[in-house]
Amino acid sequence: MFQVIAIIASLLLLIFFAYRGYSVILFAPVFALAAAAVSGLSVMPAYSELFLLRMAAYVKSYFPLFMLGAVFGKVMEETGAAKAIAHWILQKLGPSRAIISVVLAVAFLTYGGVSLFVVAFAVYPFATALFKEGGIPKRLIPASIALGAFTFTMSAAPGTAQIQNLIPTKYFGTTAYAAPVTGTVASIFMLIFGLLWLEYRRKQAQARNEGYGNHTRNEPDASAATGKLPSVGLSVLPLLVVLAVNFVLTRAIPHWNPKMMEPYAKLPLYAGSLSNVAANWALIIALVCGISLAILLNLNTIKGKLAQTLNQGTTGSLLAVMNTASEVGYGNVVSSLGGFGIITHALLSIKGTPLVSEAVTVNLLAGITGSASGGMSIALDTMGKQYLQWATAANVSPEMLHRVAAIASAGFDVLPHNGAVITLLTITGMTHKESYFDIFMACLVNGILAVILAILFYSITGIA
């Protein structure tokens, strides 16, 4: 029990320091090794053989996806393609449908592989113009962006190019299109629930005669945002190419030659089997195709700043992947401690299907780490094999393990210390006090209800 207390104390300290803005890369090993020392492990071997080894394995597996995703987003941003798509959607639906316009614009971009941060920058100037014209409080903009980016397009929608949908493929031998029916049902629910909540809040504000409000912090110049945008038809092509190539390589041509892996079987950090890397390969190729097409279609616009754009995208990905990898290294140290066995036993003892236990575990760890991808990686690293064995014995589809893990990661991850939440509020010039409650409802509560619905839907229908 003392070791359990040590683990819980280290987790609480990590949450506290992350919330106060301290680097997870620095403090995750500090608190992991503190828990290890209290539990009787030698500190330096725990650091080099547990923390760093798992951290390196995570970077090896997912760095290309972080990097290429960031580069793709940066190219779409610098060419104006992301803004052109957002502007077209928001313009077509207009100020009377400002909330759904913002949600759909963000959702389309994130589903196609553009990162949240690029999407927020691209959509925000147009969102402010529409919300002003429609008399909708600015405090609802962060929740509208978050609904489109943090929920169904990140986790539930089959084929989404976000990292949260790729991580489970390594553990369950699935693809990005795992459990397409359940994923679609959950996606529709998340979209409808989020829109109903935001519309309810809009009507509340309207009844109080609350308009957009007077804001000076990070207020954009909407007229500058719409200047010299490329054709929306050409702008959307790179997104469609990413989705199409990823689909072809995972569904239409799902079988790679297993002999490709044989020469590398004895190398360190070997993936173990082709199924562990095939989904990553598909998305890597898809993103390269999308980046190449986006550059070619906008060569005149970007040629003077191509090197800068590629460099910024590449370097911008480093912090994201190292933050998550550090959290995964933390989880590897903690999972090796005796106290974690007690915690694991309690989680695996949750009654019902493995889907319930998995949903609880992923949600809790995503909340603790403040990261959907970090929490899910820790959970599946430590308990993925047990869940797969349990699912096999209970005749539960591995595809459902994939989809439930992904959806569950989009729940408690948006607690106030989440880095994406803090960044989104900074971009929009809002505070936790002004906007967090609506993010909480549109994302956290929404995500928990969606994972419950997904489990119930599969339990009743047997359809993944």
Q: Is there a contact between 87 and 235 (Cβ–Cβ < 8 Å)?
A: no
Report the range of poorest mean pLDDT among 33-37, 97-101, 427-431: 427-431
Rounded Cα distance between 378 and 405, Å, is 11
- Residues above pLDDT 90, as percent of the chain: 39
- pLDDT tens per residue across span 406-422: 999 999 988 877 778 88
CA angle (157 as vertex; 155, 163 as ends), nearest 5:
40
- pLDDT tens per residue across span 181-230: 999 999 999 999 999 999 999 999 999 999 988 877 777 665 555 567 88
Distance set, CA 290 to CA 123, 246, 250 (Å): 20, 10, 16
Q: Which pLDDT belongs to residue 254?
A: 57
> Tokens 């104390």 label which residue?
9
Closest by CA position to 419, among listed 331, 329, 321:
321
Rounded Cα distance between 164 and 166, Å, is 6
- pLDDT tens per residue across span 222-273: 555 556 788 888 989 998 998 888 888 887 655 677 777 778 878 888 777 7
Q: Which pLDDT belongs to residue 146?
A: 96
Look up residue 200 and give its amino acid.
Y
Where helices occur in 349-371 by DSSP H, the ranges are 354-369
pLDDT band at 33 (very low <50, low <70, confident <90, very high): very high
Q: Which pLDDT belongs to residue 225?
A: 54
Tell me the pLDDT of the chain averaged across its residues.
87
Q: Which pLDDT belongs to residue 451?
A: 97
Q: Which pLDDT belongs to residue 310?
A: 92
> Tokens 């390589």 label which residue?
249
* 159 pLDDT above the threshold of 80: yes
Pick left, alpha or beta for residue 159 (phi over 0 → left; psi -120 to 50 → alpha; otherwise beta): left
* 308 pLDDT above the threshold of 60: yes
pLDDT band at 86 (very low <50, low <70, confident <90, very high): confident
Q: Which pLDDT belongs to residue 252?
A: 61
Q: Which pLDDT belongs to residue 422?
A: 80
> Chain centroid to CA 131: how far?
26
Residue predicted with more confidence, 232 or 144: 144
Residue predicted with more confidence, 256 or 7: 7
Average pLDDT over residues 323-338: 83
- pLDDT tens per residue across span 277-292: 888 888 899 999 999 9
Predicted structure pTM score: 0.81
Q: Which pLDDT belongs to residue 27?
A: 87
* 63 pLDDT above the threshold of 60: yes
Q: Is there a contact between 370 and 15 (Cβ–Cβ < 8 Å)?
A: yes
Distance set, CA 82 to CA 97, 267, 362 (Å): 20, 40, 32
